[in-house]
Amino acid sequence: MTFPRQVPFIPPRSPVHELSEDVVYAHVDGVPLRYDHYRPLQVEGPTPAIVLVHGGGWVHGDPSQAAGNALHFARRGIATVAISYRLAPAHRFPAPLDDVRHGLRWVRAHAAELGIDPERIALLGMSAGAHLAMLAHLGRDVPELAPSLPADLAHVSEDVRAVVAHYGPYDLSRTLPLPAELDMIGALLGPRRADPAWVRLASPQFHAANARAPIQLIHGTADTVVSHRESERLHRALQQAGHPSELLLLEGAPHAFQMDWRGDANQRANRAMDEFLTRVM
């Protein structure tokens, strides 16, 4: 089966990586769940791994968005498994969250065949993927968010060594500064957007006390899609709850600053991630 890919022509192999594209590992509601696996070369034994959750406003995007970061990590001996999830509005919350948690558990359960160390896995999300990655971690002990999973994954741990989140929306009660026709939060939540309890349940901001792993938040101060205040507020909530959190604000950087891969903002973000992941992984 051929899937749409936002980033074309990713090299399948280099001296530092080997890529398996669009590997289907499950079907949910008739939708294939798939991943891109970047296996680092020039290393021996099980490697640390990033489970990466793509962005796209919950309504589009695919695992190919991971390419730049995944190749960066491969050079450092870290694997990346970039997972897909069901997209809104056809699949409302919590379907995308369930899929992220499904993917995380599947990777952990199949770590040996992927060549990764199941005790050295981190979650990384971008934009809407940052929301899902953060909520997958912070909401794991919230009964109302218990995912629908296959029986063979029911008792697989969702423990991670760290969560890294780039420019995510963490309080869905706050309207994104976008035209009405681009109401992505509305697409995700549907009619239940008017239900304050449901919106709160879907917002990582309100589950900060549940953090278990160190968290790194990265956001540009010139982001006109998701305000950097979102990361600042979550950072404060995590600190107030006594949990380790690091916040890197990139002065003048826009949303999706990785589009300028060699730009100063992305270089700063990469250096910060490398240092953070080296410490925690």
- Cβ neighbourhood burial of 11 (10 Å; 0-12, 13-18, 19+): exposed
User: What are the residues whose beta carbons fall under 8 Å from the beta carbon of 221, sequence distance 6 or more?
Assistant: 228, 249, 250, 251, 252, 253
Q: What is the pLDDT of residue 180?
A: 63
Q: What is the pLDDT of residue 261?
A: 95
Per the structure block, which two tokens stand in for 42? Answer: 């020039």
Per the structure block, which two tokens stand in for 35? Answer: 């991943």
Whole-number Å distance between alpha carbons of 66 and 82: 6
Per-state percent for the chain, helix, strand, coil, to nearest 5 = 40, 20, 40
For residue 64, the Cα-to-chain-centroid distance in whole angstroms is: 13
Q: What is the pLDDT of residue 1?
A: 76
In this structure, are residues 212 and 159 in contact, taking their beta carbons and an 8 Å threshold? yes
Q: What is the pLDDT of residue 174?
A: 87
Residues of the chain below pLDDT 50: none
Q: What is the pLDDT of residue 197?
A: 97
Nearest Cα neighbor of 10 from 102, 74, 87, 104 is 74
pLDDT digit string, tens, across residues 157-207: 999 999 999 999 999 998 777 676 679 999 999 999 999 999 999 999 999
**Structural class in CATH, domain 17-280:** alpha beta
Whole-number Å distance between alpha carbons of 218 and 275: 13
Task: Count Cα atoms within 13 angstroms, Cβ side, for 49.
Answer: 30
Whole-number Å distance between alpha carbons of 63 and 67: 8
What are the domain boundaries of the chain?
17-280
